[in-house]
Amino acid sequence: MIVLGIETSCDETAAALVNSEHKILSESIHSQIDIHQKYLGVVPEIAARSHVEYCDKIILDVFENIEIKIKDVDAIAATAGPGLIGGLLVGLTTAKAIAMSTNKPFIAINHLVGHALTPRLTDKIKFPYLLLLISGGHSMFLSVEGPNKYKVIGNTIDDALGEAFDKTARLLGLGYPGGSELEKLAILGDKERFHFPEPLKGQKGCNFSFSGLKTSVRQTAEKLSPLSGQDKADIAASFQFTVCKIIYGRLSEAIKIFSNKNPNSKTLAAAGGVASNLAINNILKIIATEQGFELVVPPPRLCTDNGAMIAWAGIEYRLLGIEHDYDFDARARWSLEGLQ
């Protein structure tokens, strides 16, 4: 089975062809980072216009230099939410139009499902597994029990982790999105110089909170202003180290909760843009080893937004016989619990 996947929920226009043998046959992506950088964040209207400009080209790209034609594709999948409505509408409408004109099934994919199932595309892991989903808009622990079956066992009560990385990066004068730039700067810094708070430390459950950390980082930067290059590197390193300690503490709780319900599963996966951070990866490795879990983290280009994750989710849905009507609308918000 081959599915064409289209992703336009934020600032990447992406498409891919993936088959049921876990193979990415071809993929194409256009990043809008350049046009949003001067605003230090994604401007929804500009994003939507750019998706309109690039969507057709990106889809045509995946059929270049490959024997596969649209007639060989079994279904068309597109992200229907959560995300920026203007962008979602572009990908979703394009997918519906292709599906309608070629008489193929159309599948509406939840963006978080795309991230959550990527470790199955890359490593063929079995359900159920514990997933740490950390991206620009979400920070959660999920018990992934089937392509369409998720339990949220922990969530952020304020900011997402990617947002905390981006805001700290902005404070340090790095570009947008700043997560990977901050990671590079942190290598040059002293992670012990500043002691930032670890919100919810020691509390029951595995929710996250990052707003207190963000405020403390800002206050530290304001006190030291003007910041020297070394100050910036030390703040970056101390911030990232604090994030690692927070993840260590919260993940220990999440594993307890998950293992209670799923005593036979020993698989921990991570997904979403922030999961490509190497310091976070190292903490995950440590905790997985301590707890006797297998750790699966997809390669960085499949952690950040891409078309293959949507195509793969489409494969998993089609294998369950799921398809959607053309009146399936784009959704700015869309919970993972109670999916159909």
Give contact residues for ligand KG4 (rule: CB under 6 A): 10, 135-137, 162, 165-166, 177-180, 183, 272-274, 276-277, 304-305
Nearer to ligand KG4, 87 or 273 (CB): 273
Nearer to Zn ion, 305 or 316 (CB): 305
Residue 222 CA to residue 293 CA, distance in Å, equals: 41
What binding mask, one character per residue, do residues 107-146 give for Zn ion by CB under 5 A, x or -? ----------------------------x-----------
Reported as half-sphere exposure (CB side, CA atoms, 13 A), residue 261 has a value of 15
Nearest approach, Cβ of residue 161 and Zn ion (Å): 12
Nearest approach, Cβ of residue 124 and Zn ion (Å): 22
Nearest approach, Cβ of residue 7 and Zn ion (Å): 8
- Partners of 28 in the beta sheet? 15
Nearest approach, Cβ of residue 136 and ligand KG4 (Å): 3
Among 163, 305, 316, 323, binds Zn ion (CB under 5 A): 305
Nearest approach, Cβ of residue 271 and ligand KG4 (Å): 8
Which residues have CB under 8 Å from 281's CB, separation 6+? 270, 275, 297
178 binds, among ligand KG4, Zn ion, none (CB under 5 to 8 A by kind): ligand KG4
Nearer to Zn ion, 114 or 189 (CB): 114
* Distances 324 to 2, 48, 100, 105, 282 between C-alpha atoms, Å: 17, 23, 12, 7, 40
165 binds, among ligand KG4, Zn ion, none (CB under 5 to 8 A by kind): ligand KG4
Nearer to ligand KG4, 91 or 137 (CB): 137
Site size toward Zn ion, by CB under 5 A: 2
Concatenate the DSSP letters of all residues of 86-114 into one string.
Answer: HHHHHHHHHHHHHHHHHT--EEEEEHHHH
Nearer to ligand KG4, 81 or 147 (CB): 81
User: Taking every pair of C-alpha atoms in the chain, what is the biggest distance, in angstroms?
Assistant: 62
Nearest approach, Cβ of residue 210 and ligand KG4 (Å): 12
Q: What strands lie across the sheet with 129-134, from one edge to the other? A: 149-155, 139-146, 129-134, 267-271, 294-296
Q: Which of residues 309-338 bind Zn ion (CB under 5 A)?
A: none
* Distances 262 to 6, 11, 127, 160, 259 between C-alpha atoms, Å: 33, 36, 10, 27, 5
Q: Quote the distance between the C-alpha of residue 220 and its chain's center.
A: 29
Q: Which residues bind Zn ion (CB under 5 A)?
A: 135, 305
